[in-house]
Structure formats: structure tokens, C-alpha cells
């Protein structure tokens, strides 16, 4: 039983190589109403630093250029098939080949290997994108099992295959938390440490949004596998008072929470 599964995972990895990660992200399925470049900058600017936004209203799509590959990579892996904060429909979020955009470009096979770029970054956090092990060879040396596969490649493959609970696109909105008022030194690992006691969090299920200098923007996201765990976290953490007198805002993503926020 394990051999066919391994072949399936390998084919999935080869498919990912067709469009390697880049700063450019192509988004389709946007709502017809209320979308313009200003709105798109507001929505997607919460997930990273945007260098350029091109709205393509005729195709209900847009082309986003982020300041770094790691930011674009997080957006693709976490927003594809999901609803970003501020948009109430599920979107298709894919990498766009360098210098191109649109459906035709998405069908163009790219060169090179599977650029995972995963692993740990310079800040604490098991879900952050850093340099990690960049080896891209599937053939193990000396007959060792997995000898030529990095842990980043393994994680990517398992997520793509759906073997991990809560893989991309499977966590419903009611399981997703939006956190406001985080301290400036917050990292992914801190969010995981704070919210994991409430229940199981999927792989890449936490994200602290960072400024260019590495400080936290005060915003973070946490996904749970179980809706009851997400509700328990909201009940316990929302309104928690920080030492400077400010309070933490913890809400279900895309809920009516903003009515009570300042």
C-alpha cells in the first residue's frame, strides 16, 4: 500500500515544479462588486508587503507582487481555496510565472526544480519561511531512505497530498482566528505556544504578520482543526489585558468582531 502512495506524492511534487515560487501571485475568483486596487491593497497588504497590485476586473482576477518570495509563498499556501480577511468568497491563489499573469500564463510550465524554500527562519516559529535545507534531489545517496530529500520537501509533499489533517483549503472559516493587538516582538512560534493549549493546530496553522524590519504588525492568524477549540480560544483570550494596558482582540475570522474593535 505504501508504494502507490509514494508514487502519488512524487507526481504531486513534480506538478508543483511547473510554476516555481516567486514574488508574483495570480488571484482569481474575486467578487464582481467592491473590488478595486485600493481594496486589494487593503486586503492582501495585511499578509505581506505589496510592491504592485494590478486589478483585472474583466476576468475577476488580480496580479500581486510581494516584496519577498517568502511572503508570496505564505499567501499561496494559506489563501488558495480560502477566504482572506475582507473577502467573503473562496479564491484561487497561485504563483504567476515571472513577468506574466493571467490564465494563459498559469498553464505555462516553468523550468527548474521544486523550490521549497521552507524550514525555519531567523525568528522563532516552526511555520516560518527561512532558508532551511534547499537540497532538491529526490534520489538518496548510498541507498539511505530519504537521503536526498529535505524536511521542507517532505512537509510540502505531505501537505499537498492531504495526508496531514487540516491541509491547505480544508480548515473552515469558523475554525480560523484573527488576532489583533499583538506585541511587536511576536513571532509564529509565540502564537503557537499561546494557542496550542486550546486544541490541535494544523501544519502552517499560525502566522504573525511582520514588517520589513522583522517586527510584528500587531496582527496574527491561527487555525484550529476543531471549531470548538477555536471558540474556546476566543472565549479565553479575547480582551486579555497586556502589561501596557492595551487589550488583545481574538475573533473568528470574517465574523462581526469589528463592531467591538477600536
Per-residue pLDDT of the chain (262 residues; tens, 9 = 90+): 433 443 334 444 444 446 788 999 999 999 888 889 999 998 998 888 999 999 998 888 999 999 999 999 989 888 888 888 888 888 889 998 654 444 444 443 333 333 333 333 333 333 344 433 333 333 344 444 555 567 777 777 776 676 777 665 567 889 999 999 999 999 988 999 999 999 999 877 899 998 888 899 999 999 999 999 999 999 999 999 988 999 999 999 876 444 444 4
- Give the model's pLDDT for residue 144: 47
- Is the model's pTM score more than 0.85? no
Cα separation, 97 vs 105, in Å, equals 7
Angle between helix 151-161 and helix 2-16 axes, rounded to 10 deg: 100
Cα separation, 28 vs 25, in Å, equals 10
- Give the model's pLDDT for residue 10: 40
DSSP SS3 for 4: helix
- Give the model's pLDDT for residue 102: 45
CA distances from 29 to 33, 58, 70, 169, 187 (A): 12, 11, 23, 15, 31
Rounded to 5°, angle at Cα 72 from 53 and 33: 40
Cα separation, 175 vs 154, in Å, equals 25
Cα separation, 256 vs 51, in Å, equals 30
Amino acid at each position: 500500500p505504501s508504494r502507490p502512495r509514494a508514487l502519488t506524492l512524487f507526481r504531486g511534487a513534480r506538478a508543483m515544479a511547473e510554476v516555481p515560487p516567486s514574488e508574483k501571485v495570480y488571484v482569481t475568483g474575486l467578487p464582481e462588486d467592491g473590488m478595486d486596487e485600493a481594496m486589494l491593497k487593503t486586503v492582501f497588504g495585511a499578509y505581506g508587503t505589496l510592491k504592485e497590485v494590478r486589478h483585472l476586473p474583466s476576468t475577476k482576477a488580480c496580479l500581486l507582487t510581494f516584496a519577498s518570495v517568502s511572503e508570496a509563498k505564505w499567501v499561496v499556501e494559506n489563501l488558495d481555496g480560502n477566504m482572506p480577511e475582507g473577502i467573503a468568497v473562496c479564491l484561487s491563489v497561485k504563483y504567476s510565472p515571472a513577468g506574466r499573469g493571467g490564465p494563459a500564463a498559469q498553464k505555462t510550465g516553468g523550468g527548474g526544480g521544486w523550490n521549497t524554500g521552507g524550514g525555519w527562519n531567523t525568528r522563532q516559529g516552526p511555520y516560518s519561511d527561512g532558508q532551511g535545507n534547499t537540497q532538491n534531489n529526490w534520489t538518496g545517496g548510498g541507498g539511505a531512505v530519504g537521503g536526498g530529500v529535505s524536511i521542507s520537501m517532505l512537509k510540502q509533499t505531505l501537505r499537498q497530498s492531504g495526508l496531514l489533517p487540516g491541509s491547505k483549503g480544508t480548515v473552515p472559516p469558523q475554525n480560523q482566528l484573527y488576532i489583533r493587538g499583538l506585541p511587536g516582538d511576536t513571532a509564529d512560534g509565540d502564537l503557537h505556544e499561546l494557542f496550542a493549549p486550546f486544541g490541535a493546530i494544523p501544519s502552517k496553522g499560525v502566522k504573525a504578520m511582520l514588517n520589513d524590519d522583522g517586527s510584528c504588525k500587531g496582527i496574527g492568524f491561527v487555525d484550529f482543526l476543531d471549531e470548538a477549540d477555536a471558540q474556546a480560544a476566543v472565549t479565553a483570550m479575547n480582551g486579555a489585558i497586556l502589561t501596557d494596558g492595551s487589550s488583545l482582540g481574538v475573533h473568528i475570522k470574517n465574523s462581526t468582531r469589528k463592531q467591538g474593535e477600536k
